[in-house]
Structure 1
């Protein structure tokens, strides 16, 4: 198996765009990793968007109101461009009430502690008369990717509430470049350059980190499923031989527990059976990454090899 040895660096980054470099990749892995990350970034980064709105006096999207330059369709198209960050999993509503001759912008929405608007200067509408008014209420929800109204036909909205094609993804563009580079005597190693543009509700580095975590989670789950189907005879013989030795010589890596639980134990500094046996059950539950399922798994494995946690 080839050695994995690469480096990561930030070429440039601001709130909305970032360029990152992964160098020293084994030949071919620039495209392999770049395409996987690009697909996940475009399709699977969670965001928030306007999913419906209501304007006082407008029963449907084809309505035009006196004193407002834009039709409801124009306002709907503008609301689709609203970049919002939602701090809860529950849908939220934001309202604005504007009167007089003026330009209506996203910053005119009343504040909501659960909603942050990343583009407050976004144009929404134009009031052309001193007596004109606009009262608007928009619903914000979380989701993935792009969800057109047609896919939400089962939703029963009240009269006057206009559904909106929701652009949930905070990722606006991802570009992947792969270059050859020299590593030792070879000149066919890869340098991967990823450029990410977002709508400002998430930084490019945060988006890249989330994409890596999503891929990592899928690979870990797949690895666990494969491990369950593999013969355990060799592992058991190896472990039974080591049990005859002191617990400090048995590594957590050697225990027949899931990859997720092993990783949680090691990340908390527990690298040997001896280290694990120093803990009581109530202390283990306080460690990051160890839930009830992991604790039950640990207890069962220890019982099988004739050990128990401290009382």
Structure 2
């Protein structure tokens, strides 16, 4: 069966003492489709194609305000108000939209760097350490996390597996919107790689993220210089 999430939606207006019977065709879609797009060559006489709104988001309002970070007041704060039809919560809608946007932007940031390969392992560096360093500096996007967990890591500026493995459970649970379910998911993913939370590595094994190197604190908030 189906649940009607918007029972107050107006279908039509009738005169008194009339009844209304209709058969509805329901399908899954994305975005918006016009009535013309919903027409079928073999549709029966009397069928009326109508516009379809598949998006669960009904309204979005945004505002940009000045905000203070440390002693500086020239930072911007984005305020979003999101309304949905009940299929998704506003939080989940924002998480999914952020993941889609990030996926589209990957074409600009996930460029292929020139790789220089050496025939011999550098002196004093074992093949195991080389493999471990490569694993630790792998992007967290490559371990196929859920949308919520991936966005939590992105907001915390945790970009590599090594950064993630160095965090403790207590530290992870302090991040906004990060709960036990996401924690267990991340622990399982790390276990599949032979890693766990709370690990320590030799200096130089985990590269410093660009945002931290440029002056942002590890939690993703710009730091005062």
When normalised by structure 1's length, the TM-score is 0.41
Cα distance change, pair 270–240 in 1 and its aligned pair in 2 (3 A):
farther
Runs (5+) with no aligned partner, structure 1: 1-111, 277-311
1:72-93 deviations in Å (ceiling 9; x for gaps): xxxxxxxxxxxxxxxxxxxxxx
What's the CA shift for 1:152? 4.0
Within a 5 Å distance, the mapping from 1:49-198 to structure 2 comes to 112=1, 115-125=2-12, 126=14, 128-129=16-17, 132-153=18-39, 155-198=41-84
1:270, 1:239 → 2: CA distance? 30
Paired position in structure 1 for 2:114: 231
1:96-140 deviations in Å (ceiling 9; x for gaps): xxxxxxxxxxxxxxxx1xx221122444454733xx543311112
Match among 109, 123, 128 for residue 247 of structure 1: 128
Q: Matched residue of 1:163: which SS?
A: coil
Paired position in structure 2 for 1:206: 92
Cα distance change, pair 240–271 in 1 and its aligned pair in 2 (3 A):
farther
Paired position in structure 1 for 2:142: 261
What's the CA shift for 1:148? 1.3
CA contact 1:180–1:191 (8 Å) conserved in 2: yes
CA contact 1:127–1:133 (8 Å) conserved in 2: no
What's the CA shift for 1:218? 2.4
What's the CA shift for 1:239? 9.9
Question: Higher relative contact order at CA 8 Å, sep ≥6: structure 1 or structure 2?
Answer: 1
Cα distance change, pair 188–134 in 1 and its aligned pair in 2 (3 A):
same
Paired position in structure 2 for 1:98: none
Which structure has the greater CA radius of gyration? 1
Larger strand fraction of residues: 1
CA contact 2:36–2:49 (8 Å) conserved in 1: no
CA contact 1:146–1:169 (8 Å) conserved in 2: yes
2:45, 2:29 → 1: CA distance? 24
Q: Matched residue of 1:137: which SS?
A: coil
2:56, 2:41 → 1: CA distance? 24
How many equivalent residue pairs? 152
1:209-265 deviations in Å (ceiling 9; x for gaps): 1101111222345544x22xx3111xx35994499416256221456xx87435669
2:192, 2:106 → 1: CA distance? 19
For the aligned residue pairs, the C-alpha RMSD in angstroms reads 3.5
What's the CA shift for 1:145? 2.6
2:78, 2:11 → 1: CA distance? 39
CA contact 1:220–1:259 (8 Å) conserved in 2: no
CA contact 2:39–2:49 (8 Å) conserved in 1: no
CA contact 2:121–2:127 (8 Å) conserved in 1: no
Within a 5 Å distance, the mapping from 1:278-297 to structure 2 comes to none
Runs of 4+ with >6 A deviation = none
What's the CA shift for 1:203? 1.6
